[in-house]
Structure 1
């Protein structure tokens, strides 16, 4: 392969067991390398017989990668990765940078595979969350009664952080098993209940969570309104479910939520699949703070919140696959800016509750087609000792595909 590509980078997965656990291909590749990149811990696992120059990763890593690789261009480069380099690892990052023809991957069992094996849990039935580059709040989206979750820790503090999160989310009775240094000579296991967790753990650990009993939230759009902190600017549950059905979240796609309010549309778009992304645009600083709080509590802390007024603030944002306009329809240029930014085949959904905003989408419908839907929702509520209907303001929804 080097004859075909002299700049090939080989990524070798390595576990806590170090050199003795590597297969013949991994050992021979490292023995032949001229330079090896990795964390200080990983580099220390190599024996003195590996004569290559050893370069510890800088921090932050990703911005420095192109320059590091260029500085060693023409040399036989190996990169050490924890476990499976393509499972929340550096291998995927290198493939994005150099393409599949520029990277060769020699995997090792992932920490998730080893943890599932130790616990006797079928790996395909588990949710796996990595805290290496993410927030512990991401665990929240996977909490449901009876579920099992594997959490790949960032460091020794991760188990305590996860225990506190579980307790605050109503899962204080969840069983936690922390598996440290999996596959290594110092492998150890500690267990306990989230609400009373106090164990000290090795930095290299995986947390196995058995949720047990607790509150549940569906991944299907239309969460209860009570799931959100709000000042009243919230797309109500029934309207939200219809709106998201029209937006049609697809794995990997990006949504713009323009006029975010409490953030419910962007949050439930992201909750539909872990790879769905969203940018919420909101002009009120207080509401931006509320959106961030709601996103964290509902397990999607990666929701991007952009403070500012559309259409000016939309400039420079990555092109969306779908756009929702929940506020600002009557502002000059907002609708046209959103339509022109959409990728080919993208979807736009706009909700109107005032006569003026209805006029905007009525004109757009006459010009571009699409579909119009009008929702009038009534909810049962007490009327003395009886039950009557209280009707919310009707909402007109325009949806169109570009």
Structure 2
């Protein structure tokens, strides 16, 4: 018989939560591997027992050396934030078979009587508070597996700091044990609760903290944004810029020289599964961007404070880049972007001076990009005048560069 490793999930109800086939496989195993809680469910098991440590490489080495049938016990579903992913990366798939059970997140949703098919599932284990909260605010329903650092209280504090506390909160602790407790509260209520180490935090959006819901549209009027007067991409230019970027739902976008954040905010609705990094160095603009992100409930926009290109090093590689301002560092920024831009990536740069136009097109030509320049001349009627007269804005050169 060929070697087989069964990865079996333990339900929250203890041994009675296993199905008949799972119990048969466990009984036949010559080696039983699992956490202390899972191994304790089978005190009479005759095989060799091995407790899982934080060093999963040791478990892989052990499994590679075993010729008999082995069972790895884990909690819930082995492929849901569990050991299954690691084993698949490090062992032949033909040797593995997974037997799932009810996960702690499923059990928690059942307890609060809430459907979970429209929720996102987030693990804070080793991923950092900011990334976890970024995903929470991008969704209306989330289940979070917390850890000793990224606690429910810490997550709540970050949500409050961002002005995104409009969630009902369900703290589901010690599920399946005699100490099981489920507390229904809100985000601010979590600040006063010392949570048990084993918990699932469920957050369900009830309202936007600002109390005003904006319907996603292209071309938000300029006056809706808090901005330094001349540091905003005008409404019509913004719409054309977004069209030239050719955004898809899951892309990563850098918005360099974000100004008011208007391009990032409108792109947010076009990238529901993407990530947007609004880069700005001007302290006055930074505060305006924060105000605008809160006002428009931007979900996928992260503000990056600093001067490009130095502050770009820590960002994930982009598929799209918009450059609204360069602060005199145009050539260095373009070089840094070119080094990081994905294959078939696209850069859109808005210029109002001939110096920027010629400098950018020269760089793109030398770097082998396909370049298109669109000149946008916008005139609007003057409001509150006796005669309908047009007032012209300065022309804007929209430079679109596609990487070959």
Q: Cα distance 1:380–1:153, how it changes in 2: closer, same or farther (>3 A)?
A: farther
Match of 2:65 in 1: 74
Correspondence 1:2-401 to 2 at 5 A: 3=2, 10-30=6-26, 32=29, 34=31, 36=33, 38=35, 47=43, 49=45, 51-58=48-55, 65-66=56-57, 69-70=60-61, 73-75=64-66, 79-96=72-89, 100=93, 103-132=96-125, 133-135=127-129, 136-138=132-134, 141-142=137-138, 147=140, 149-155=141-147, 158-164=151-157, 167=160, 174-197=167-190, 198-214=192-208, 215=211, 216=213, 236=233, 238=235, 239-258=237-256, 273=271, 275-277=273-275, 284=281, 298-300=298-300, 310=309, 320-328=318-326, 331-332=330-331, 334-335=333-334, 338-339=337-338, 342-363=341-362, 364=364, 368-375=369-376, 394-401=395-402
Between 357-366 and 199-208, the greater mean CA deviation after superposition: 357-366
In structure 1, distance between residues paired with 2:101 and 2:289: 37
Secondary structure of the residue aligned to 1:73 is helix
Q: Cα distance 1:304–1:241, how it changes in 2: closer, same or farther (>3 A)?
A: same
Q: Is the 8 A contact 2:259 2:289 kept in 1?
A: no
- Residue deviations 1:279-322, cap 9 Å, x none? 6777x597999899799995558x59696754x88789876433
What number of residue pairs does the alignment pair up? 384
In structure 1, distance between residues paired with 2:160 and 2:266: 23
Greater radius of gyration (CA)? 2
Output the TM-score relative to the length of structure 2.
0.68
Q: Is the 8 A contact 1:177 1:207 kept in 2?
A: yes
Q: Is the 8 A contact 2:34 2:73 kept in 1?
A: yes
Q: Is the 8 A contact 1:137 1:300 kept in 2?
A: no
Q: Is the 8 A contact 1:323 1:348 kept in 2?
A: yes
Kindly state the Cα deviation for residue 137 of structure 1 after the two structures are TM-superposed. Answer: 2.5
Where in structure 1 are there 5+ consecutive unaligned residues? 59-64
CA RMSD of aligned residues (A): 5.1
Output the TM-score relative to the length of structure 1.
0.68
Q: Is the 8 A contact 2:170 2:184 kept in 1?
A: yes
Kindly state the Cα deviation for residue 201 of structure 1 after the two structures are TM-superposed. Answer: 3.6
